[in-house]
Amino acid sequence: MIEIDNVHKSFGALKVLKGVSMTVNKGEVVSVIGGSGSGKSTLLMCINGLEKIDSGAIKVDGTDVFSPSTNLDKLRQKIGIVFQQWNAFPHLTVIENVSLAPRKVLKMSKEQAREIAIKQLEHVGLGQKLDVYPNKLSGGQQQRMAIARALAMSPDYMLFDEATSALDPQLVGEVLDTMRLLAEEGMTMVLVTHEISFARDVSNRVAFFHQGQIHEIGTPDEVIRNPQRPETVAFLQSVR
């Protein structure tokens, strides 16, 4: 379980998160929607420990992310994260990119890491692209490689930060299909997304962020089909 309790986060004078509380249960898919600058991506960075919080608490499986005694590198092995930009190493092939972290972080042998990388690349439909360099892949393929790279660490949780927003529209579907597959397999996921129909279809719950706060959280039927807050209604009208 991911537990987020009254989290505040500012960048200088700009308050980005203003008392955010929510939980994500094992096997659950929670989509986070809302306008630009509402705090969605910052929340993911805080869950992963990439941004420090000002107050409140975030726990992952009971471990306080920001406790001085917490080994963040070890904790992050549980929490895969996929950003808008895939940030592959251009001088490494696809399989070298995906097998690098298992070798360096998990201290696997080259053979073990390669075996896991092949499995995850096949999982995301890139089994035929093992020895290709990233610049020879389409944007959608590069993003699927980034997903395989995260999965190669065998995480318990996957965080997706607008994973399709940098893609051409015709490439979005293949990445969403990969994320849908993970959801069907029971991966616990938190998705920051502007793909409202996708959020409606795959999520157990949807959280609507507005000005650094959760204004509504509930099932897709409650939040997307039958929103109660005027801010939620206005946002959904603006993206349809």
Q: Is residue 59, in this structure, part of any structural domain at all? A: no
User: Does residue 13 sit within a domain?
Assistant: no
Domain assignment of residue 19, yes or no? no
Cα radius of gyration (the chain): 18
Would you say residue 240 has pLDDT above 80? no
- What is the domain range of residue 129? 26-51+72-239
CA angle 32, 35, 41 (to 5 degrees): 50
pLDDT at 164: 84
pLDDT in tens, 55-78: 999 999 999 999 999 998 889 889
Q: Which residues contact 147 (CB under 8 A, 6 or more apart)?
A: 82, 124, 158, 163, 175, 178, 179, 182
Instruction: Grade residue 136 by pLDDT with cuts at 50, 70 and 90.
Output: very high
More confidently predicted of 21 and 162: 21
Q: How many Å separate Cα 186 from the centre of its chain?
A: 15
| 104: CB partners within 8 A, 6+ apart | none
pLDDT above 70 covers a percentage of the chain that reads: 100
**Mean of the pLDDT values across residues 169-176?**
83
| Domain contains 66 | no
Give me the amino acid identity at 6: N
Number of domains in the chain: 1
Does 225 reside within a domain? yes
Position 221 scores a pLDDT of 94
- Find the CATH number of the domain harbouring 140: 3.40.50.300
Segment 191-213 shows an average pLDDT of 92
Q: pLDDT at position 40, please?
A: 92
Domain assignment of residue 136, yes or no:
yes
Nearest alpha-carbon partner for 134 in 83, 92, 174, 163: 92
Write out pLDDT tens, residues 28-62.
999 999 988 888 999 999 999 999 999 999 999 99
Whether 98 maps to a domain, the answer reads yes
**Whole-number pLDDT of residue 126:** 92
Task: Say whether pLDDT at 170 is over 80.
Answer: no
Please report the pLDDT score of residue 65 as a whole number.
Answer: 95
Whether residue 3 is contained in a domain is answered as no
How does the average pLDDT of the chain come out, rounded? 91
pLDDT one-digit tens code per residue, 70-106: 998 889 889 999 888 767 899 999 999 999 999 988 8
Over residues 152-158, the mean pLDDT reads: 92
Query: Under DSSP, is residue 153 helix (H, G, I), strand (E, B) or coil?
Result: coil
- Write down the pLDDT at residue 73: 87
User: Is the pLDDT score of 166 beyond 80?
Assistant: no
- Per-residue pLDDT for 174 more than 90? no
pLDDT at residue number 162: 87
Q: Write phi, then psi, for 80 (nearest 5 degrees).
A: -75, 145
**pTM, to two decimals:** 0.90
